[in-house]
Structure formats: structure tokens, C-alpha cells
Chain A
Amino acid sequence: MNEPLADRECPDPPQAAECPQPPQIDWHPSEFADLYAEHSRAIFYLALRFLSDPQKAEDATHDVFLKAFRKMDQFRGEASWRTWLYRIAINHCRNLQQSWNERHMFSNADEAVWENAVAQSDSPFRLLETKELGERIQKALDALPDEYRLLLLLIADEQLSYEEVGTLTEQSADAVRGKLHRARKAFAILFKKTE
């Protein structure tokens, strides 16, 4: 794998011949605006449904993009912009959650709860009134373990592959598939309860 110029060991102070430093080219504000326009909805939606609070989600989205703006020079193109932004967002939301000491209804040890529950996760969700949809989805997501909630939100984004979701949640794509099965089932049970 090619080592990025920035990561090569350079003498201190660097000597131009040994360690060429390309001239700094600044990001044009309109390029950052394009990035925001393309990905802000996905990041805001993740923050909204993960944090369960519109105001906190607004603050988090602002902070995520500001952090991205500051760190744009660190983006190496190994992942897509979307994945990179999601990584910042997930870390940010998790930190916020920890600092608020939010309760966790189920730990990973409780996964069996969903495995043994009787529900048809493959059955379609029929809604007669879509205006309350957001509220019902939020209630169901709030009752899920954080890990399941995050998996469902990420996998719902068609731009992300199982591999990318696995990278973002620090597990293999196969593990993602396995957990998704339980996450879908759990969501179906909880969503039914919101009727």
C-alpha cells in the first residue's frame, strides 16, 4: 500500500529534496457546502433517531460538520465521505450519550430476549396514518439496545454496504448480518407495541 506523503518520516526540520511538501491548497467554501448538501440529511437523521431529541440532533449535526471542516485535511479517501462523516457522527453521539448517562434498557447479554420473542419480522409494516410515523419509529428505536438501533439506522442507508456498516461498528460483515436479524425482529415487536 502506498504510504501517504504526509505520513512518511521526514527529518526535522524537513528538507525539501527528501520530503517534498506540496503547496497548501485550501478548500473552497463551496466544496464544503456541496459536502454538507449531500450528506447533512443522513447525518441529521442518524443523530435525530439515535439521540431521540431534535435539538440535540441539531447541535450534534452542527458539531459533526464543524469537526469535519477542521479535519478535512485528514481525510485520505480510504472510505467514502459518507462513511467518514458517519464515523465522526457515531463517535460524537456516543460521547454525548455517555456524558448524559442515558439509560440502556438492554445490554448485549439480553439479546436472547429478542431471539426467543414471537414475532414475524418479515411481515410488512402497514400504516394507516403516516403523520405519526416518526413518533412511533422513535419509540421503537428508543427501546432497542444502542447497538441494534445503530445497525438499523446505518443499514437503512442505501449508500452503505454491509462491509462499511461493519467497519463503522467495528465488527465483520457477517456479524452485522447476524445481529441485523435480531435487530429487525426486536424492532418489529416494539413497533407493534406502538400501535
Chain B
Amino acid sequence: MKQQKKFNSEQQQEHVSEQQLTHNTARDFASVEELLRYDASQTQTPAAIAQRLQKSSADLPRPARSWWQRLFQR
């Protein structure tokens, strides 16, 4: 009897966590922009791009600053 009670309790817990999962993954977006912003925030830039860039730019001469950058020296 005790075992049956425990089983029910486990089932209940499972059910609750399923509900929580559904609740956690449900999201409302008020607009297309909000949806796309969220999507963008979830998108990771592949690390390979930075590595490739480092290699590709290594052989290039350093770009000179333009006149206004020289003026204001950011």
C-alpha cells in the first residue's frame, strides 16, 4: 500500500515537472520584431569565423585610420 502511494507520488511529480517544462517553454511574443529579437539572441556566432578572420587578416596591411578618426582618436 505504501509502495502504491509512493508510486502515485512519483507519477504526480513527473506530471508536475512536465507541466513546468511546458510552462517554461511557452512564450508569447507581441510582435514579429520581438520574435526575431529573441531568435537573434538565441543565435550563436560560430567561433570559426573569428579564427578564420584572424588568419585572413594576418597577411593584410593594417588599415589606416580615416581623417576623422585621426582627429578624434577614439
A-to-B contact residues, CB < 8 Å: 4-6, 22, 24-29, 32, 36, 40-42, 44-45, 48-49, 54, 58, 61-62, 65-66, 69-77, 121-122, 124-131, 133-134, 137, 152-153, 155-158, 183-184, 187-188, 191
Contacts and interface: CB of A to CB of B under 8 A. Distances in A.
Interface of B: 22, 25-33, 35-40, 42-46, 48-50, 52-53, 56-57, 60, 62-70
Contact of B35 (A27, A42, A72, A137): A137
Given A5-B67, A76-B67, A125-B35, 6 more contacts: A4-B68, A6-B66, A62-B53, A77-B66, A127-B25, A188-B32
Contact of A26 (B29, B32, B62): B62
Contacts of A71: 63
A25 to B, nearest CB: 5
Please classify the interface of chain A as helix (H, G, I), strand (E, B), loop, or mixed, using the class held by over half of its residues: helix
B66 A76 contact: yes
